[in-house]
Amino acid sequence: MDRIRIRGGNALNGTIPISGAKNAALPLMIATLLTDDQVTLENVPHLADVEQLIRILGNHGVDYTVAGKRAGQNAATGRTIHFSARTIVDTVAPYELVSKMRASFWVIGPLLARMGRAKVSLPGGCAIGTRPVDLFIDGLRALGATIEIDAGYANAEAKDGLVGTRFVFPKVSVGATHVLMMAATLAKGETILENAAREPEVVDLANCLKSMGAKIEGAGTPTIRIEGVAQLSGTRHSVLPDRIETGTYAMAVAMTGGNVLLTNTDAHLLDNALGALRQAGAEIEAVEGGLRVSRNGGGIHPVDVMTDPYPGFPTDLQAQFMGLMTRAEGVSHITETIFENRFMHVQELARLGARISLSGQTAKVEGVPVLKGAPVMATDLRASVSLVIAGLVAEGETEVNRVYHLDRGFERLEEKLTGCGADITRIAG
C-alpha cells in the first residue's frame, strides 16, 4: 500500500493549478443516465472516485471515451470525457461497487426517473458518520416511488413514472438535493424542493441539466423549482473548479509561508473559508483566473470556526484548518455541525505533537511552536490531507500511510506541492 513521506520546513512558492471539482464531477457523471444522447464533460479530474463511478456507470450500460489532449492543453488541464447512456442494460447497482463510494448510491434517482425502477445497494464511503439515506428515500417516495429496503438494497419502483411534489428537507443535504433535482427533471408536473442545499456544486449540476433541456429555477437558493419534461438531450459542460482543493492549498501556504498563485479557480466559491484564512494571517488576493495566497512574516493567529452548509465554513475543509491551527499562536476552537464523527484526524495530529482536546462536537486546539514528524495513518479523504499540511512544517520526517484516501479526492498532490518546493515523495508499497 502506497505511503507519502514528507520532510518538513520548506515554504511554498510558485503556481498550483486547481483541478475540476470531484464533488461536482460525480453528480454530473450520474446525470448522464438521464438521457440517451451523448453528454460531454470537460475538466474532469483524474481521481480514484471518478474511476470507480465510471465502472459503476459501465455496469448500467454507459459507454465512455476519453478525448485526447488538444493544442494549448497541459497536464493541469482536466480530461474531457464523452458519456453515452443510449441503452440502460441493468438497473441494479450491486454492493461490491456501491460499497466503495457513497455517492454511487445517487444513481437511484436518474434510474428511477428514466427507467421506472432501480435496485441500489446501501452505500459505503468515508467513515465520518452515519450519513443515512433516509432523506433520499423519503424524497423519492414523495415523488411517487415505492421503495422497500431488503437485504441491504433499496428496491425502488415508479411504474407510471415520478410525479412532481413539494418536499421540504428536514436538514440540508447536498447529496439528497442532487438526487431529487435529477429525478424531478423527468417527473410529471412541478417539483418544489425546500431547504435545499445551496452549494456551488448544486448550481453546477443545475446548469448542466438546464443545458440538457431541464426546466430548473432557484438553484443556489433554499428553494428549487423543477418543471418536469418528457426527455432530456445531450450537452457539453465544463466541471467547475474544486473549491475544496483551492482551500486546501491555500491553507498549506498559510501553514508553511511563501507565495503561491492558485490558477483555474474562483475565490468567490469559498468566501467564508478565505475569510478565516485572512484572520489567521494569510494575505489573499483575487486575480484573474485564480487567487494569490501568501504569508511572508508574522505568526499564525488562532481563529474559531464552525462548519455549516454553504455559504458557511465547509465541513470538507475542517480537518485542513485544524491542521493549520496546530501551529497558531494561541487557542482556537473548531466546531463540527455536519458530521458527528469527523474528528478522527485528531489522534493522528497528536502523534505529530499537536495539543487538541475534544468536548462533544468542538475541538480545542492549543497551538504549539513545533510539530515533529512521525508515522501517521490517514482515516478518510479530508483527514489525510490535514496530515500532509501538518507534515509540511513538522521537524524531521512524516510518513502518511493509507494514502489511497488522498487519491480519491486530490489529483497529482505530490506533483503540485513538489513544484512549489515541498519535499514530498510517494513510496510504492
Terminal alpha carbon distance of the chain: 4
Is 50 known to sit in a ligand binding site? no
Element (H, E) at 341: none
Is 102 known to sit in a ligand binding site? yes
Active site residue 420: no
Residue 332 makes CB contacts below 8 A (sequence gap 6+) with: 302, 303, 304, 305, 325, 364, 365, 367
Cβ–Cβ under 8 Å, residues 303 and 279: yes
C-alpha cell at 153: 438494497
Task: Write phi, then psi, for 183 (nearest 5 degrees).
Answer: -65, -40
Is 172 known to sit in a ligand binding site? yes
Distance CA 224, CA 46 (A): 31
Which residue has cell 489522534? 347
8-state DSSP, 69: P
Is 426 known to sit in a ligand binding site? no
User: 246: closest CA among 222, 279, 282, 296?
Assistant: 282
Is 16 known to sit in a ligand binding site? no
Distance CA 202, CA 112 (A): 20
Is 150 known to sit in a ligand binding site? no
Is 278 known to sit in a ligand binding site? no
Distance CA 98, CA 2 (A): 23
User: In which order are the strands placed within the sheet that holds 146-150?
Assistant: 92-93, 117-121, 153-157, 146-150
Q: Among positive and negative, which fits the CA dihedral 238, 244, 250, 256?
A: negative
C-alpha cell at 395: 521537524
Is 134 known to sit in a ligand binding site? yes
- In the set 107, 111, 126, 162, the catalytic residue is 126
* 400: Cα within 13 Å, side-chain hemisphere: 31
The string of DSSP letters for 175-186 reads HHHHHHHHHHTT
Is 2 known to sit in a ligand binding site? no
Is 372 known to sit in a ligand binding site? no
Is 69 known to sit in a ligand binding site? no
Distance CA 320, CA 97 (A): 29
Task: Write phi, then psi, for 72 (nearest 5 degrees).
Answer: 90, -10
Distance CA 371, CA 237 (A): 44
Is 135 known to sit in a ligand binding site? yes
Q: Give whole-number Cα distances, 106 to 111, 252, 290, in Å.
A: 9, 32, 31
Distance CA 346, CA 402 (A): 16
- As annotated, the active-site residues are 126
Annotated binding residues, written as ranges, equal 22-23, 102, 131-135, 171-174, 316, 338
Annotated binding residues for UDP-N-acetyl-alpha-D-glucosamine, written as ranges, equal 102, 131-135, 171-174, 316, 338
Annotated binding residues for phosphoenolpyruvate, written as ranges, equal 22-23
